[in-house]
Amino acid sequence: MSNTRIAVVGCGYWGKNLIRTFYELGCLEAVSDLNMELAREFSQKYNVSPLSLEEVLESSQINAVIIAVPAEHHTSVALACLKAGKHIFVEKPLALKVEDAETIIEMAKKVNKKVMVGHLLQYHPVFLKLKEIISKGELGRLQYIYSNRLNLGKIRREENVFWSFAPHDISMILSLAGDLPEKIHTSGSSYLHHTIDDVTVTSLQFKNGIHGHIFVSWLHPFKEQKLIVIGDKGMAVFDDQALWPDKLSLYPHQVLWKEGFPDPSKAEKIAVAVNQEEPLKNECLHFLDCIARNETPRTDGYEGLRVLKVLEASERSRQTNAAITLSEVKERKYFCHESAYIDEGCEIGEGAKIWHFSHIMKGSKIGKKVIIGQNVMIADDVIVGDGCKIQNNVSLYKGVVLEEGVFCGPSCVFTNVNTPRAKIERKNEYRKTRVGKDVTIGANATIVCGHQLGEYSFIAAGAVVTSDVKPHALMAGVPARQIGWMSHAGEKLGNDLTCPREGTKYVINEAQMLCALPLAS
For residue 271, report the phi and psi dihedrals to the nearest 5 degrees.
-80, 130
CATH of range 6-113; options 3.30.300.30, 3.40.50.300, 3.40.50.10310, 3.40.50.720 = 3.40.50.720
**Which of 55, 282, 69 lies closest to 78 in space, CA to CA?**
69
Say if residue 15's pLDDT is above 90. yes
Residue pLDDT, tens place only, 322-376: 888 876 434 567 888 867 888 877 889 988 999 999 999 988 999 999 999 999 9
Cα separation, 379 vs 19, whole angstroms: 36
Q: Which amino acid is at 100?
A: D
- Is the whole-model pTM more than 0.75? no
Beta bridge partners of 118: 91
pLDDT at 520: 54
Return the closest-CA partner of residue 239 out of 218, 223, 255, 254: 223
pLDDT at 258: 74
Does residue 31 or residue 326 have the better pLDDT? Answer: 31
**How many whole angstroms separate alpha carbon 8 and alpha carbon 28?**
8
Report the pLDDT averaged over residues 227-232. 94
Q: What is the mean pLDDT of residues 218-246?
A: 94
In this predicted structure, the answer to whether residue 1 has a pLDDT above a threshold of 90 is: no
Q: Which amino acid is at 24?
A: E
pLDDT at 328: 45
Average pLDDT over all residues of the chain: 92
Per DSSP, the three-state class of 44 is helix
Tell me the pLDDT tens digit for each residue of 462-495. 999 999 999 999 999 999 999 999 999 999 999 9
Contacts 24+ apart (CB under 8 A), 47-55: 48/23, 51/7, 53/9, 53/77, 53/80, 55/30
Q: What is d(CA 164, CA 187) in angstroms, rounded to the nearest whole number? A: 16
Whether residue 28 contacts residue 51, with contact meaning beta carbons closer than 8 Å, is answered with no
Q: Where are the domains of the chain?
A: 6-113, 122-276
Per residue in 134-172, pLDDT tens?
999 999 999 999 999 999 977 777 678 888 889 999 999
The pLDDT, as a whole number, for residue 57 is 96
What is the tens place of the pLDDT at every residue in 42-57?
999 999 999 999 999 9
pLDDT value at residue 521: 44
- What residues contact residue 44 under an 8 Å CB cut-off, 6+ apart? none
69 to 76, 85, 250: CA distances (angstroms): 11, 19, 38
Question: What is the pairing mode between strands 87-91 and 389-390?
Answer: unpaired
The predicted structure's pLDDT at residue 253? 77
Say if residue 98's pLDDT is above 90.
Answer: no
Mean per-residue pLDDT, 2-25? 94
CATH topology of domain 122-276: Dihydrodipicolinate Reductase; domain 2 (3.30.360)
Instruction: Give the model confidence (pLDDT) of 163-212 as tens digits.
Output: 888 999 999 999 999 889 999 999 999 888 877 889 999 999 999 899 99
What are 277-320's pLDDT values in tens digits?
999 999 999 999 999 999 999 999 999 999 999 998 898 888 88
3-class DSSP assignment, residue 330: helix
